[in-house]
Amino acid sequence: MENQKRLDEFQAKIDAGIKIEPKDWMPDKYRQTLVRQMSQHAHSEVIGMQPEANWLTRAPSLRAKKILMAKIQDEGGHGLYLYCAAETLGVSRDQYIQWLHEGKSKYASVFNYPSPTWADMGAIGWLVDGAAIVNQVSLQRTSYGPYARAMVRICKEESFHQRQGYEIMAEMAKGTPEQKEMAQEALNRWWWPSLMMFGPHDKESSNSGQSMKWGIKLESNDDLRQQFIDKTIPQVELIGLEVPDKNAKLMPNGSYKTSDIDWDEFWNVIKGNGPCNSQRLKHHKKAHDDGAWVRAAAEAYGKKQMELVD
Amino acid sequence: MRNTLNKMNHLQKYCLRIADNSWILGNRLGEYSSKGPFLEEDLAITNVGLDHVGLSEAVYKYVAELDGTKSADDYAFRRAEHEYFNIQLVEYPNEDFAYIMARQFLFDVYQFLFLEALVDSKDNTLAALAKKSLKEVTYHIRRSTQWMYRLGDGTEESHFKIQGALNELWMYKDEMFFMDETDEEMMKAGIGVDLNVLKTKWEDKVTEVLTKATLTVPENPLFSLQYGKNGHHTDFMGYILLDLQYLNSKYPDAKW
């Protein structure tokens, strides 16, 4: 039983803005929430490499190829920071990966959509990374120290990702009619999934209340989503594309009112029925399984070397 | 573009060989992204791939300057298969991690020795590029050498796999040291590298590492294929070019 005094002291620390560190006492539920959220975040970075790796060989210029390679590496690097940060909660990376493969741990649903054209490389950087930044900027102030510090590092790189994505879209939007059509079509496809990235409405979000009280989450899903919408709609218009929501309307307060998200689709993809859920997981499992003999060799060799030293 | 390539001088062809080796290998390594045996290794492979793409871009830019009518992207994306002059080894597919590492090790040793010699080239641009890339390749060779040890002297399975991959790729090694007119001319001009000298050093280094890795140096190949450095490629080349050139071929007027 966690006694009330400890809980009160814990809450007082959070309220005073003092970071919680790995060795500090924390309520089980706080730890569990972070295990769930941080592993989901780490997996998202790694699974997110797949739709982009899909276009690496087909990137159309030397510059585009270099940028995409660097970006995919950054995403994987973010996965590494996050796994390391999440391991401070007492769970190993192997365990997290096993949970991912067993479907017990999730990753961002947005990566369950395909990337059929080069414009998707633009849309993913601009919209998906753009939405992630809004969320991650907020998480830089999260109450768990290792998570907050990982976010600070990650945010520095994400803004470059978003710019490169927007640049791809801008270039295509002013290109040939086919390119412009591809750009618009990718925007249409990624618009709603990006808005879904912020999660359900506040009133439907079961974990939000406690997470906000504990300072894990600092702003509500709907507030963050609105920030993203208000930032992105003018960017759409600037490059001459159309917002894929006929009801989007600028309000007198400078904010945009938009149609509601198709929540059936949202829940459906979360439940595993999206177009690429099975593909993404299979890809990750296959790489992991195919690599088993390599990891075993590295371990065996490492042991032999240690024995030599002894 | 074909006619110009026929009239291309030795220096341009020499440079394209250097660039194409790294370009095709860089793309092969890129194909492996998100498929690595663990995250750190996945990133390391993409990182090496990125170094290769970087070197190829720098050399294509130099060729574009020499030529004056085409861009680096034209060289990378808009040539016919027989106008790419990479050695065949680098186009070999990513069959599994053993093949990827065997290909990498054989090439890294070659490229390291090649660049080390090219640093003294009378062509200032090539000498500078060699100097810069040598730092990266020093890291590449350290990494692939480590993998030869780990896989060779790891488990029975890994030993079997890496030995099999080395045996299979061994037939592509002679091409690295084959000297044709372009190589001779460049060497005489003090621009290019003496591949005969390289060959001995390469054999010494590879034998040393494989022996330490408890692996067997494969038998010499009985058959040498027509060489990629003169535009003759394996069955694998067409497919990677198809991917590489996809957007440029399908939308020739588009800028990206």
Confidence of residue A205 (pLDDT cuts 50, 70, 90): confident
> Does the pLDDT at position A2 exceed 70?
no
Confidence of residue A310 (pLDDT cuts 50, 70, 90): confident
Task: Please state, in angstroms and rounded to a whole number, the distance separating the CA atoms of residues A175 and A183.
Answer: 10
pLDDT digits over A125-159, tens only?
Answer: 999 999 999 999 999 999 999 999 999 999 988 88
Contact call for B34 and A297, based on CB within 8 A:
no
Six token digits for residue B222 = 């009985």
Confirm or reject contact between B27 and chain A (CB < 8 A).
yes
Can you tell me the mean pLDDT for A18-34?
A: 97
DSSP string, A154-171: HHHHHHHHHHHHHHHHHH
Contact call for A62 and B73, based on CB within 8 A:
yes
- Is A293 within the bounds of a domain? no
pLDDT digits over B20-55, tens only?
Answer: 999 999 999 999 999 999 999 999 999 999 999 999
- Is A283 within the bounds of a domain? no
Confirm or reject contact between B246 and chain A (CB < 8 A).
yes
Confirm or reject contact between B38 and chain A (CB < 8 A).
yes
Chain A residues within 8 A of B97 when measuring between CB atoms: 290-291, 294
Alpha helix ranges (H) inside chain A: 4-15, 28-47, 49-53, 62-87, 93-101, 119-123, 129-139, 145-173, 177-196, 208-213, 221-238, 263-268, 277-290, 292-309
- Is A242 within the bounds of a domain? yes
Q: Which of A262, A235, A118 is nearest to A176 (CA)?
A: A118
Chain A residues within 8 A of B22 when measuring between CB atoms: none
Question: Nearest 5°: phi and psi at B94?
Answer: -80, 70
> Is there a contact between B166 and B218 (Cβ–Cβ < 8 Å)?
yes
> Does the pLDDT at position A66 exceed 80?
yes
Can you tell me the mean pLDDT for A169-179?
A: 97
Contact call for A301 and B76, based on CB within 8 A:
no
> Does the pLDDT at position A95 exceed 80?
yes
Tally C-beta pairs within 8 A across A and B: 141
Confirm or reject contact between B62 and chain A (CB < 8 A).
no
Find the CATH number of the domain harbouring A257. Answer: 1.20.1260.10
Task: Please state, in angstroms and rounded to a whole number, the distance separating the CA atoms of residues B109 and B106.
Answer: 6
pLDDT digits over B100-153, tens only?
Answer: 999 999 999 999 999 999 999 999 999 999 999 999 999 999 999 999 999 999
CA distance A257 to chain B (A): 33
Predicted pLDDT of residue A1: 54
Identify the residue among A58, A65, A181, A276 best suited for mutation to test binding to B, counting B beta carbons within 10 A and taking the highest: A65
- Is A241 within the bounds of a domain? yes
Can you tell me the mean pLDDT for B58-85?
A: 97
Q: Which domain covers residue A188, as residue numbers?
A: 4-275
> Does the pLDDT at position B6 exceed 60?
no
Question: Nearest 5°: phi and psi at B95?
Answer: -60, -50
Chain A residues within 8 A of B157 when measuring between CB atoms: 293, 296-297
Six token digits for residue A45 = 């970075």
Q: Give whole-number Cα distances, B129 to B86, B126, B132, B136, in Å.
A: 18, 5, 5, 11
> Does the pLDDT at position B63 exceed 90?
yes
Predicted pLDDT of residue A308: 87
Chain B residues within 8 A of A87 when measuring between CB atoms: none
Chain A residues within 8 A of B72 when measuring between CB atoms: 62
Question: What integer best gives the mean pLDDT of chain B?
Answer: 95
Domains identified in chain A, total number: 1
- Is A286 within the bounds of a domain? no
pLDDT digits over A215-263, tens only?
Answer: 999 999 999 999 999 999 999 999 999 999 999 999 999 999 999 999 9
> Does the pLDDT at position B4 exceed 70?
no
Confidence of residue B3 (pLDDT cuts 50, 70, 90): very low
Q: Which helix (DSSP H) or strand (DSSP E) does residue B115 occupy? A: helix B97-118
Task: Please state, in angstroms and rounded to a whole number, the distance separating the CA atoms of residues A275 and A112.
Answer: 6
Can you tell me the mean pLDDT for A205-212?
A: 85
Residues 180..219 of B with a Cβ closer than 8 Å to A: which?
none
Six token digits for residue B85 = 């002059």
Chain A residues within 8 A of B240 when measuring between CB atoms: 57
- Is A287 within the bounds of a domain? no
Confirm or reject contact between B167 and chain A (CB < 8 A).
no
Contact call for B30 and A56, based on CB within 8 A:
yes
Can you tell me the mean pLDDT for B65-76?
A: 95
* Chain A residue with the nearest C-alpha to that of B245: A58
- Is A11 within the bounds of a domain? yes
Question: What integer best gives the mean pLDDT of chain A?
Answer: 96
Domains of chain B: 2-250 (1.20.1260.10)
CA distance B44 to chain A (A): 9
> Does the pLDDT at position A207 exceed 80?
no
- Is A191 within the bounds of a domain? yes
Contact call for B247 and A60, based on CB within 8 A:
yes
Can you tell me the mean pLDDT for B184-203?
A: 97
